[in-house]
Amino acid sequence: MRSDRGPPNLPALLVVLAVVVQPLLGAHLEVFATVNADGSAPPLRLLSTISVSGAPNQLGVDPQSGNLFVPIVTGGLPDSKLLVLSPADNNVLTTIPMQNYPQVPVLDPAGGSFYLPNGPSTISVVSTATASVVATIGGLGGGTPTYDPAGNAMIVPNYEGTNATMINATTNVKMGSIGVGSFQPLAMTYDPFDRDLYAIGGGWARQVNLSVNSGSTGALLAKYPIWNYTQGTGFLSEMTAPKVLEYDPVNHDLYFSNLANNTVTVISSTLNRSISVIGVGRAPGVPTCDPQTGDVYVPNQLSDNVSVISGSTNSVVATIPGIPSPWEIAFDPASGDLLVPSSNETIDPYSGHQVAVVSGTDYGVLGTVQVGTGPQTPMYDPANGDVYVANFWSNNISVLGVPQPPVTIFGLPPWEFYSLVSGAGAVVLAAAVVVLVCRRRKREDAPELLGP
């Protein structure tokens, strides 16, 4: 018996594909998209957690290999070490023993080595190529080094003295010392535009020009008062206050947070004087500059917000609320967003366990990512685009990033296939409608056949 059912209605199937299947497919694949529909990057998510045996300090990233150099602090100093992790699988490539308490590694981009303060008077020089210690420099003051690219030198502040030591970054030999006045320098900031060095400590920031340095002296240009501690207020002390002058490459100004009086001092590197004092939130932390716009972001640890200072007007243009106990901020060069960890160790070291992602365009909070306890400053890895957060109090490292698609469709990543389908959806729907209309008209115009 012949069936009266005709062939499948192709136009109807096209309509179903365009109207029903395509939106469902798009909604499913959008989870793995590396670019949102509006062209923006999706917010970061927690991809994995790396457990380590000890408390990880702020890590360093080798921009060439993408390898991570993680200082590990333990209860016993002989067990302190430096871990080298691969960004490909987050496995430990090697473990380098450290003599004392390893601090934040500072990279010499020209020579490809990390300079790692390792105890009160020693710096270990670690090659990024061989992942090994190539030099140990003693007789120093234990401060965090600052790199001077014009002089190819590492400059180390001496906590116990009134100077800083210059180290040749090629030979790792001491070149001399720089006098910074009659105070103990706690930290230093470098101005690459004028080759000035700003040494911080003793209630002052002193400006020294390195271009006239003869190997033992420098030209003391100016000194600026800083209000970064108040006696008798508990956690407010010079040691816990921010000790960083943030350099703005757009306007060449420098910004320093005054912890005690809730202000930020602006220093003009051109005029060699303070040009503004800006009121911000309570107990401001370390300022961070957006190198693209010149805006400066100041985390206010007791106000639970972030102040946004315009680099063109040196005034507060926005306040970002809802970020508990921010202390430091990192800039994500891939998305232009800001990463703000809740890590106020001066008040409650166990309270911080998240990183807020803030839009660098409209200053809105895009979301928060739960990490370990006591997160340090997030570090971006250009090798894989992920962000690594060392969690000091939970002995692990959080890996943040955008989930990658697990499969391909017709040889294309899912988001590319989705874009192709989305673009073709309207064309398919229009073609299906045209075919249906033409068939209907053909039936209406066809002559009626009479039977016998």
pLDDT, one tens digit per residue, over 283-295 is: 888 899 998 889 9
- Predicted local confidence at residue 360, as pLDDT: 87
Mean per-residue pLDDT over the chain, rounded? 77
**pLDDT value at 12 more than 70:** no
- Predicted local confidence at residue 201, as pLDDT: 73
pLDDT in tens, 34-59: 444 444 555 788 999 999 988 998 89
pLDDT in tens, 319-336: 999 998 898 899 888 888
pLDDT in tens, 253-299: 999 888 778 899 898 888 888 899 999 999 888 899 998 889 999 99
- Predicted local confidence at residue 240, as pLDDT: 47
**pLDDT value at 212 more than 80:** no
Domain range list for the chain: 10-34+408-443, 151-221, 226-298
Average pLDDT for residues 374-381, to the nearest whole number?
Answer: 90
Average pLDDT for residues 168-183, to the nearest whole number?
Answer: 84
- Predicted local confidence at residue 131, as pLDDT: 93
Which pTM was predicted? 0.75
- Predicted local confidence at residue 79, as pLDDT: 67
pLDDT higher at 415 or 232: 415
Q: With bands split at pLDDT 50, 70 and 90, how would you rate the model's confidence at 32?
A: very low
Q: With bands split at pLDDT 50, 70 and 90, how would you rate the model's confidence at 163?
A: confident
**pLDDT value at 425 more than 50:** yes
Q: pLDDT > 90: what percent of the chain?
A: 30
Q: What's the rounded Cα separation, in Å, for the pair 387 and 339? A: 9
Right CATH for 151-221 from 1.10.8, 2.40.10, 2.60.40, 2.60.120: 2.40.10
